[in-house]
Structure 1
Amino acid sequence: MAGLEVYLSLNSLLVKPEYAQRDLSSLLKPGSMFNEYDLSEEHELDAEGKLFVKTPVANEPKWRSFAESVVGEELTGLQNISNSAVLLIKSNGKVVAFTFGYGRFLLDLTCFVPDFGIKTALNTLDHSSLRSVDVLTLDDQAVQKKSQSSKEAGVDIFGIDVSRDILRAVTGSAKDGVELNRITGGDAIYSFSLSISVSELPSLIDTLYGYYNNESYKNEFSWVDNIRRVKNDGEISSLNESMLDNVKLKNSVIKITMPEIINWDLVHGFSYTRAKTQVNPTIETEDYFDTINATSITIESIKSDKLFVFYLDGSVKEYSIYKCLYYEFVSGDKTYVMFSGVWYEINNKFILDIDANLSRIPISSLSFPDVHVWTDRINEKDILKIESEGHYNSRVSTGSNFYLLDKNLVKTSKSTSSIELCDLMTIDRKFVHVKHRKGGSSGLSHLFAQGYVSAELTLSDRDFRKEARKKLKPISSSLRDTIPIDGYKSSGVEIVFLVLGEDSASLISNLPLFSKVNLSKVYDNLIHRGFDVSVAGAAKLDISQ
């Protein structure tokens, strides 16, 4: 019996070194109900361990009463019983948990290495044998995606964007020299199949630790180190304290932004807890700082405080300030970013590469007037207002060399919606795309994407060019002729990104990190297609005086 070998699918987790000397039962969630079993002495293991089996609880399915009403009688045998167990083995100072059924839900995951699963998988997988990947794409809002291939393939087939995607889980076949099958790794859990006897468990722990504790993944998956989500509670707590110190100092490194994409055309203004009646047209971090008591503010109070968004239809939406904070913090060779309520660790070399790329983008040679701001007295309150994008575009195009194309949409079969060619255009083929800076990172990614999609469709889609010419002809025949139906060339065409409320000189340096990432990617794509790219800002001008 002791040497019996069986084929098993195992889920494994590695205990953090600082918890390896604790009593094994303390690695389970507090309050868990379980039966505890010692290992059989017949195996003569040079290791210690225990098996924990959750006390099973029978639950009735939620649909039972409805089903019984359908047939008019009691249904029997419909109880759900889930079985869960955890085998904890300590060998050579290392502790590994092997879970069965729903056993992972018995564990206190704060005691386990958070990247054991994903890193061990990347170190043991054949990079050309992937079956599925899970990624978290960072943008104005995080998007989770799972992709699965019909056959083994390399990572390129899954369309991963190494500048924005965090790899969360991966499945594939083992590389040469790894005696495991059907490998999956995600966060803390490493799953695999193998034939094993109980006596081989200590050597398996050493093997798994060796797979985790090396850097071979960097040969094929080095990009995964660009961005990682911080999950360690202690690390998050330390980062929160750093952020809190800067909030108390009311430091300008703290920014408040929208944590998701909104329709700015429908927004009336913004306000904060303790100043809800003071509505401003833009998100100003200083306005929040003015409402807080620096000596008593805590992370919990920041989570309770709200940013209110007032819409033109009278509705109001609120967001936790904690989820609206944007903060970059450098520590050694790592940069940490708080974005949409989540901390990310970003490799500094990655950031330096992004900044170096952005430094190549010139300031537009075009001259743009400042965007107007003013103060209105409404209900005995001074309300700061800012010129809308539509009004600014219209004003700029009046009596100038700019043609107004704002909201002049072009239909195309290659997009789910009609596309705006640009907001402003010149006769020498400069396409100007305009957005407010007022919401932080929110909206800026849309600005860059808009410029790229319009340029790409104009270059590649003949039907799009035909429709664009129809829109341009009533404005100017000469303007129409800048986009020929056939023979259109990107050479000499300039895509200009104009941000309202920001000086041209400080525009790129003041962009939030993920907006920089998006602009860098768009810039590379447009340059490679032969377009010129530039940026510009329009500073605020107070016309109240």
Structure 2
Amino acid sequence: MAKSRGFSIYLLKSTFSNENALKEDHSLELLSEGVINLPDGAFMYIADRPSSVPWWKNYWGVQKDLYQMQKGALVFLPINNRWVVLTFGMTYHQLNDNCYEYDFGLRTTLNALDPTKIKSTDILQPENAKRQRVQSPTASELNFFDLRSDETILKKMTGAVKDEYADLFKNITGGNSLKVSSNLQADGISDLCINLVEIYEKDDYKTTFPELQNIVPVKDPALLDLLKKNLIEAFNRNPAPVELVLSIPELFDYSTDYKIKFSGEGRSNLEFTDVYIKGYREYLLDKGIEEVEDVEKFNTHKLRILDDNEILIKEYSIYKSFLFDCEVEGKTYHLCEGEWYFIETDFIINLSTELDSIFIDNHSFLLQCEDKREDDYNISVKNSNPNIICLDKKSISPNGQYQVEPCDLIYINNNYLELAHVKISTRSSSLSHLFNQGVNSVQLLRSNNQAKDKLKELVENEVTILPFIDEGKYSVTYGIITKNDKAKKSKSLPIFSRISLLRTVNALRTMNIPVSAYYIFDNVDRKNLNQEED
């Protein structure tokens, strides 16, 4: 039996071919002769970089001759008036970010996959750009992977295929590209790709995985142009709105020593320790650019991750690195990894119905914020109200465990011991932390006697408070310091913050914990601050 080999496959958009799909500065060589098994009409490009000495050889003074080499290839196959690209090695980075169908791998996988034989999922939580891979030791159904279709985007899936496709391949992995193994020889690969494109064009996934439809890709060119216009307008506001975030657009090993640079308008000496819109804007200003007028600039400008030797680890277009929420004609859209998604309208309506009731119009002492820092605001509230205790940066976690802050402010209110959690900003990642903090502290106080004892010590055994701690009679208030319109209630929050808040509210309600949210007016000009408070 012939040996099975792995193939990584991209489907180019209809307007792209080998002539315009590669980056302008690509370093690949087109082979015009000496390729015996290449199908008719196909093209092969190879990466044949000369060998180099690894940095650690001289660092440790290794005397032995050591060299590392990087080889790879791209093969362009014509398939039914479209082009498929097979990538070998790391050459996929030589493709333009906008040249291929981003849903090809995932949609083909969802159409071909046996829904009872899933082995792995990669998901993205847009509220905080959190990426997670969940693997099963045995083939399982979707519910094993705890994929919450109302708050996550499925980025990749691996599993065994349905019986009807078993003659083509046994297992399949799909994300932006498609990965399959096959024992076909070179003259049969074109037929395999024809079958894959046919599977991609089916709608079987809508029946097999109906729960994955709350968040769906946007394909209408006219709507995409309108969404991109919204993105340009948001970026050119300084500071950028909280709905716009720059992030590394895939799973990344943060244990690697790295630095961030930007390119696209020429070299710059600016480098950064992490990824922020502020750093990208500094790069543009360094090049004399105050505003971006064409969204195509976001495709040609690059976010570059380099190691200590200035060797490129990863490179992404700025466009692919944006996370962005916006509303157009009453509908909500989300940009993630270069693709726009429509958020189901009924789902948005349900969020408002569930959440608006917890937003209160007035609060007795959480008045407007005049402080740049959260801790200063919390102290000012405490100083103005003798019955309030400030517990900001305190911990109730049992000895040896990760620090858990009980709340920022604690006080008796309406016959409950109220735990107030305060956060400057309506940025999704910050609010996700805020909402989770409210749940985690209550769960710990309800379940751990050592945590309760620590809280008693923190409130200095205040006689009026102790009975509430013993009974576990708490309520939770989220104080959000922002300039956003409080009249819009939950709609003043980014979409995935609302989803996160609903999850939190439901968790607190199952513990019979009353919960409320309040917008604290931010009376501070934060335009020139380095960054928001964590």
Residue 403 of structure 1, CA deviation: 5.1
Provide structure 1 residue ranges, at least 5 long, that are not aligned to the other structure: 262-290, 305-320, 375-383
Residue 40 of structure 1, CA deviation: 7.0
* Alpha-carbon distance change, 127 to 425 in structure 1, aligned in 2, over 3 angstroms: farther
Residue 469 of structure 1, CA deviation: 3.3
1:393 aligns with 2:381: yes
Residue pair 1:403, 1:426 contacting (<8 A) in 2 also: no
Residue pair 2:118, 2:157 contacting (<8 A) in 1 also: yes
Count, aligned residues: 458
Structure 2 residue aligned with 1:476, among 446, 462, 468?
462
Name the structure 2 match of 1:49.
41
Distance 1:539 1:69 in 2: 60
* Alpha-carbon distance change, 102 to 351 in structure 1, aligned in 2, over 3 angstroms: same
Distance 1:404 1:387 in 2: 9
1:329 aligns with 2:326: yes
Mapping of residues 76-475 of structure 1, within 5 Å: 78-105=66-93, 107-139=95-127, 141-179=128-166, 180-187=169-176, 189-198=177-186, 200-219=188-207, 221-222=209-210, 224-227=212-215, 239-245=227-233, 255=241, 297-299=291-293, 328-331=325-328, 335-337=332-334, 344-349=340-345, 350-361=347-358, 363=360, 367-368=364-365, 370-371=367-368, 373=370, 388-398=376-386, 402=388, 404-412=390-398, 415-421=401-407, 423-426=409-412, 428-438=415-425, 440-441=427-428, 443-472=430-459, 474-475=460-461
Instruction: Report the RMSD for the aligned CA atoms in angstroms.
Output: 4.6
Residue 372 of structure 1, CA deviation: 5.5
Residue 208 of structure 1, CA deviation: 0.8
Name the structure 1 match of 2:502.
520
- The CA deviation string for residues 501-532 of structure 1, in whole angstroms up to 9 with x for no partner, is 56754442322223222211111111123222
Largest Rg, 1 or 2: 1
Q: Percent identity?
A: 20
Distance 2:101 2:165 in 1: 22
Distance 1:184 1:226 in 2: 22
* Alpha-carbon distance change, 164 to 99 in structure 1, aligned in 2, over 3 angstroms: same
Name the structure 2 match of 1:287.
none
Structure 2 residue aligned with 1:537, among 512, 519, 522?
519
Structure 1 residue aligned with 2:52, among 57, 60, 74?
60
Name the structure 2 match of 1:498.
479
SS in 2 for 1:87: strand
* Alpha-carbon distance change, 415 to 181 in structure 1, aligned in 2, over 3 angstroms: same
Residue pair 1:28, 1:107 contacting (<8 A) in 2 also: yes
* Alpha-carbon distance change, 231 to 396 in structure 1, aligned in 2, over 3 angstroms: farther
Provide structure 2 residue ranges, at least 5 long, that are not aligned to the other structure: 248-284, 302-317, 525-534
SS in 1 for 2:101: coil
Residue 38 of structure 1, CA deviation: 9.4
Letter in 1 for 2:9: S
Letter in 1 for 2:439: Y
Distance 2:60 2:472 in 1: 69
Residue 9 of structure 1, CA deviation: 2.3
Residue pair 1:166, 1:229 contacting (<8 A) in 2 also: no
Higher share of residues assigned strand: 1
* Alpha-carbon distance change, 203 to 353 in structure 1, aligned in 2, over 3 angstroms: farther
Distance 1:51 1:258 in 2: 40
SS in 2 for 1:426: strand
TM-score when normalising by structure 1: 0.69
- The CA deviation string for residues 390-438 of structure 1, in whole angstroms up to 9 with x for no partner, is 233314532x5x5554455323259511422451221622423142445
Name the structure 2 match of 1:510.
492
* Alpha-carbon distance change, 184 to 465 in structure 1, aligned in 2, over 3 angstroms: same
Name the structure 2 match of 1:35.
31
Distance 2:404 2:233 in 1: 46
- The CA deviation string for residues 339-387 of structure 1, in whole angstroms up to 9 with x for no partner, is 9x9775241334333223213425388633532549xxxxxxxxx9999
